[in-house]
Amino acid sequence: MDNLPLTCEKPLTQEAKTISISGRELSLGKKFPQTIVVIGDTGCRVPEGQSCDGETPFKKIAQTAAQTPDLDLVIHLGDYHYRQARKKEREHADFDTWNLDFFEPADDLLKVAPWIMVRGNRESCQFAGQGWWRFLDPRPWQHKEQDCIQPLAAGKPRDYAGDYSSPYAIPLGVSEQFIVFDTARSRFGNLHPDHYAYSQYLQKYTEMEKLAQKATHNILLMHTPVLALAGSIEKPYIGTAIKSVFLNKNKKLFPEGIKLVLASDFHIWQHIKFSSHPSHFIVGFSGAALDNSGLLEDLLRYTSQAERIHYLQNKGIDIVPHADPKVEIQAIDILHQQYGYMVMKRVDPANADSKTWSWQVAVYDRSGELLKNCTIQEKVSTCMSAKAADTCAVSAT
């Protein structure tokens, strides 16, 4: 069993004007968030060579990001937790471990704004699932649906009811919303139709489609990306296993109304603009040991987008060969071996129901130095280095 403390929960009604715990007042957030900090993959990798003593990268990032002017919301894209309290497989970490890896280093940022917390693979039942359900998931505790102790008879030894949860929507403004999609059991390769996870994710995709119909502008939040690039030239990582489910369900990959995808899992920052698919921002560079990708290193040797696209074509790297329309990269921007965080800010904050859906994006290092400037507007995007004094724009097609 788990060495976790008693955890209490209380529903928060829409009528609530203030909220406090033990006299400590918390922020309720805004109906139309204007400024949003985005982070991901913050846990410290013990015992895999990362130094986790003193001021960790995540602690510094949390302290710096907490100073973001007029901050309304924080989004964490998953993997809060890497160090295990015990070495036995499938034993869950205790609260001391959770505190070391997340609550203590995140303290400054937890104080200043409400959070949307996305589940990562490190919060699956194999690792820290019990703590995820008790501490971070926003839904009421339901033991049967959230069980990480007893494997499912219908699944394989590592399949648990608590590994899967339904997507849910969070209103962002007039006819816009976040959709939070749990991908805790999606890793690399492909999920086969005979795998229990495959049937689960097919069902969750159908639920996501229904949610997306409720708004004209949806931002999909997930940990493991559908479309992203990393790995080596010989063995590139092209998204994660969840893409095989999405493709089977919809040759377009995403439901109508998905305008933007925010994901992490790869320990990099990456922006990809596609010809017909929603732009992707991979924000996985906020604390965990960074990925060393030979493929991305090679791409960074080329300064122009045309050269980068030509390089990928020469290497025969096709992200999703059977998608319709074809997945065509128009631009790819990368920060490699660099810690940091991202900030999204509405371009037209005075009119949150504006038909021109547009955001500015700024990417910072752990100390707050500006690295990239971006603007999001519908599905199309472009990014430039802050040193070149350029901007990154996403405009309607």
Q: Which amino acid is at 192?
A: H
Token pair for residue 187? 């890793």
Distance (Å, whole) CA 154 – CA 3 = 28
SS3 for the chain, per residue?
Answer: CCCCCCCCCCCCCCCCCCEEECCEEECCCCCCCCEEEEECCCCCCCCCCCCCCCCCHHHHHHHHHCCCCCCCEEEECCCCCCCCCCCCCCCCCCHHHHHHHHHCCCHHHHHHCCEEECCCHHHCCCCCHHHHHHHHCCCCCCCCCCCCCCCCCCCCCCCCHHHCCCCEEEEEECCEEEEEECCCCCCCCCCCCCCHHHHHHHHHHHHHHHHHCCCCEEEEEECCCCCCEEECCCCEEECCCHHHHHHHHCCCCCCCCEEEEEECCCCCEEEEEECCCCEEEEECCCCCCCCCCHHHHHHCCCCCHHHHHHHHHHCCCCCCCCCCCCCCEEEEEEECCCCEEEEEEECCCCCCCCCCCEEEEEEEECCCCEEEEEEEECCECCCEEHHHCCCCCCCCC
For the stretch 153-202, pLDDT in tens is 655 657 788 999 999 999 988 889 999 999 998 877 678 888 888 899 99
- Give the Å distances, CA to CA, from 286 to 100, 211, 344: 16, 29, 16
**Residue-wise pLDDT tens digits, 259-301:** 999 999 999 999 999 988 999 999 999 999 999 999 999 999 9
Q: At 224, list the tokens.
A: 């493991």
Contact 60, 54 (CB under 8 A): no
Pull the structure tokens for residue 237. Answer: 């990582």
Q: Which residue has the tokens 């920052």?
A: 269
Quick one: pLDDT at residue 396? 41
Would strands 115-117 and 73-76 be described as parallel, antiparallel, or unpaired? Answer: parallel
How does pLDDT run along the chain (397 residues), one tens digit per residue? 467 888 888 888 888 888 888 888 888 888 889 999 999 999 988 766 678 877 899 999 999 999 999 999 999 999 998 876 444 544 567 888 899 999 999 999 999 999 999 999 999 988 888 899 999 999 888 777 788 877 776 556 577 889 999 999 999 888 899 999 999 988 776 788 888 888 999 999 999 999 999 999 999 999 999 999 998 888 888 877 888 899 989 999 999 999 999 999 999 999 999 988 999 999 999 999 999 999 999 999 999 999 999 999 998 888 777 788 888 899 999 999 999 999 999 987 655 555 678 899 999 999 999 999 998 888 778 888 887 644 444 444 4
